[in-house]
Amino acid sequence: MSIASLTKAWQPMSYGFLDASAKRELRRKMLKAIAVPGCQMPYASREVPMARGWGTGGLQVTLTLLKPSSVVKVIDQGADDSVNAASIRSFLSKVSGAAETWDTLAASLIQSRHRIPEERLHAGQILVLQVPNPEPLRPVEPNMSVARQMHADADYGRLWLILYEQIVRSGRIMEGAAYPSVVNGRHVMTPSPIPRWDVPKLHMAQHLTFLSAGREKRLYAVPPFTKVEPLVFSDVPFKVEDHGALTCHRSGVSGFYMNEIPQDNGGSAFELSDSHLGIKAIRKAEGEADRIGATWYRNGQLA
């Protein structure tokens, strides 16, 4: 054995920022997360050059996966050029040499906060969702040790109870985003604060999804072809947001999740939340060659 075999040349920063030991820990936990879909796996969660709560969990998963041939898309609230998405994307490409894209179809890796793109993800693509609070039981049990025991016992009665109370009180289930869903018939997970519109996109999907909470140090996964079922009662079906009939005032496209823009006249205008889908639609209308992929929703209905 030589000294040289024990050392390596000095670098100002590891490839992809995280050092080999951090990546190995992430890899071990990512494999466990795939093996038990929807089950939160604890990890050390290294500090990265971004504030906690700003996508540090997603960032660690993405940094572990990145290689020079990766093509990376980052969105926040559905938009590629949202300020934090732009910041994360430029960091990712700078530390890895990966190509940047806004196009869902071209991306090998998509890191997202609060949305799943409207175009269907295909086999081979990886979606990394940033998670602020990984614990679906937090509203009924803030103590994490107790919540862990409840997951172990599949003791989800109190979650059903709050849904039932909402129906009694408001005539419907009042959960907004982050709708609790059963994965592989066993673990209830929060799909991260994606709108209900996006939850069915995780069910029996082609792609692999990682969900990672850096601050809370938990990571979980939804492998391809895995059942993801929102908690519902047999006589009260799951309802996505009532956006199917809305039309984007910029692109003229309708039938997708929209941002509501309050207007001076007291009304509202709507625009596509998936900003690059809007760009593609406008380009297409202007005669440019741009391919819009198959979408999960067609004419406002889940296809």
Partner 1 sequence: MTALAQSLVPASVPVPDAFEARTNATFEALMWALSRPGTVQTLPAPGMKGLVEALVDRECKVFCDDADLSDFVAFTGAALMPAAAADHAFMGLDRAEGLKNLEQIPVGSALYPDDGATVVAFARFGEGQKLRLTGPGIETSVEITLGGLVPGLWALRAARSRYPAGFDMFFICGTSVIGLPRSTLIEVL
Partner 2 sequence: MAYVATRGGARAIDQAERLYRAELGQIDASRVDAVRRALPMLIDRVMGEASLYEPDLAALALAQAGGDLYEAVLLLRAWRTTQPRLAIAEPVRQEQLITHRRISAAFKDIPGGQILGPTLDYAHRLLATDVLQGRPFTPAPVTPAATAAPAYQPSLAAWQKAQGLVADPLRADVAPDAIPDLTREPLLFPAKRAHTLQSLARADTGGMLTLGYAAMRGYGNAHPTVNELRLAEAEVRVTHPRGTVFSAGRVKVSQAEVTSKGKSGQLSLGFCATLGWNEVKVISGATLDLNAAAAPKGSPVEEEFFLYHTEPVEASGFCIHFKLPHYVTFQSSLDALRGAKASAAPQSEQVPS
Tokens 């939850």 found at: 199
Angle subtended by helix axes 56-65 and 83-96, to nearest 10 = 30
122 binds, among partner 2, partner 1, none (CB under 5 to 8 A by kind): none
The residue (of 74 and 272) whose beta carbon lies closer to partner 1 is 74
Tokens of 159: 């979650």
Give the range of 37-45, 159-167, 243-251, 280-288 binding partner 1 by CB under 8 A: 37-45
Give the range of 90-98, 160-168, 259-267, 282-290 binding partner 1 by CB under 8 A: 90-98
Binding track, positions 46-85, relative to partner 1; x by CB under 8 A: ------------------xx-xx-----------------
Q: Should residue 201 be labelled a site residue for partner 1 when binding is judged by CB under 8 A? A: no
Q: Should residue 187 be labelled a site residue for partner 1 when binding is judged by CB under 8 A? A: yes
**Rounded least distance, CB 35 to partner 2, Å:** 18
Strand partners for 130: 212
**Rounded least distance, CB 28 to partner 1, Å:** 6
Distances (CA, A) of 117 to 79, 135, 147, 154, 194: 10, 23, 31, 31, 11
- DSSP per residue over 86-124, as a string? HHHHHHHHHHH-PEE-S-TTT-SEEEEES---SBPP-TT
The residue (of 77 and 254) whose beta carbon lies closer to partner 2 is 77
**Rounded least distance, CB 33 to partner 1, Å:** 8
Q: Should residue 25 be labelled a site residue for partner 1 when binding is judged by CB under 8 A? A: yes
Task: Report the site for partner 1 in 217-276 (rule: CB under 8 A).
Answer: 223-227
187 binds, among partner 1, partner 2, none (CB under 5 to 8 A by kind): partner 1
Q: Should residue 42 be labelled a site residue for partner 1 when binding is judged by CB under 8 A? A: yes
Strand partners for 109: 72, 126
Q: How open is the CA angle 261-265-271, to the nearest 5 degrees?
A: 20
Query: What contacts 215, CB < 8 A, 6 or more positions away?
Result: 45, 52, 53, 56, 57, 132
Cα gap 92→104, rounded to integer Å: 17
Strands 208-213 and 126-130: parallel
Q: Should residue 186 be labelled a site residue for partner 1 when binding is judged by CB under 8 A? A: yes
Q: Should residue 208 be labelled a site residue for partner 1 when binding is judged by CB under 8 A? A: yes
Task: Report the site for partner 1 in 98-157 (rule: CB under 8 A).
Answer: 148-149, 151-153
- Residue pair 210/65 in contact by the 8 Å Cβ criterion: no
Cα gap 258→79, rounded to integer Å: 12
275 binds, among partner 2, partner 1, none (CB under 5 to 8 A by kind): partner 2
The residue (of 72 and 253) whose beta carbon lies closer to partner 1 is 72
Distances (CA, A) of 185 to 39, 134, 208: 11, 18, 18
Q: Should residue 95 be labelled a site residue for partner 1 when binding is judged by CB under 8 A? A: yes
Interface contacts to partner 1, rule CB under 8 A: 8, 12-16, 20-21, 23-25, 27-32, 34-37, 39, 41-42, 64-65, 67-68, 94-97, 148-149, 151-153, 184, 186-187, 204, 208, 223-227
